[in-house]
Amino acid sequence: MEEWQSEALKTFPELQSQINRAHGGIHSLWADIFSAMVAAYRAAPVHEDFIRRVYEYAAWCVRQPQTTDAETDLSSATAVGFLENLPLDQQVFGDLHRWLSVETFEGCKTLFRYHLSEEDYSKLHNDFIRKKKGVTHPSVL
C-alpha cells in the first residue's frame, strides 16, 4: 500500500472503500474526497470535523517530498486534484478563509483562475482577505 493511501485510511476511515479502490492513484482519490467535502458542507449540521481532516490531509500531501513523476508527486496531485477545484463550489470557496493562509491563497491564484474570470477571482480574493482579518486561529494549509 502506498504511503498516501495509508495516511488517507487513517484520516478518512469512512472513505475506506474509495481509498482501497483508488486505482487511478491519488488523483482519483482527490475527486472522491472533494465530493465528500461538498456533501459535508451540505449536511445539517455541517460536518466540521470531516472538513478539517480534508485540509489536514491536503497539508500533509503538500509537505511530502516532490518527485519527478506526476503520478507520485503528492504536492502536484493535491494542487490539481483538490486546490484547483475549490472554486467549483461557492460554499467551499467562501469558507477558505478558515483553512488557508493568505500566502497559500495567493500562491494558488493560477490554480483558482483556471475556473474563474479575472473579475470573479478579484472579487473572491477581496472577500477572502476581508474574512481572513476576522480569523484568529492558525491556518491549516
Note the pLDDT of residue 25. Answer: 85
What pTM was estimated for this model as a whole? Answer: 0.94
Say how far apart CA 96 and CA 94 lie, in whole Å: 6
Give residues with Cβ within 8 angstroms of 87, minimum separation 6. Answer: 93, 112, 115, 116, 124
Please state the domain extents for the chain.
3-132
Mean pLDDT (10-residue bins), the chain, 141 residues: 93 96 86 97 97 98 89 90 94 96 95 91 94 93 95
Note the pLDDT of residue 23. Answer: 74
Position 127, amino acid: D
Give residues with Cβ within 8 angstroms of 90, minimum separation 6. Answer: none
Say how far apart CA 22 and CA 46 lie, in whole Å: 26
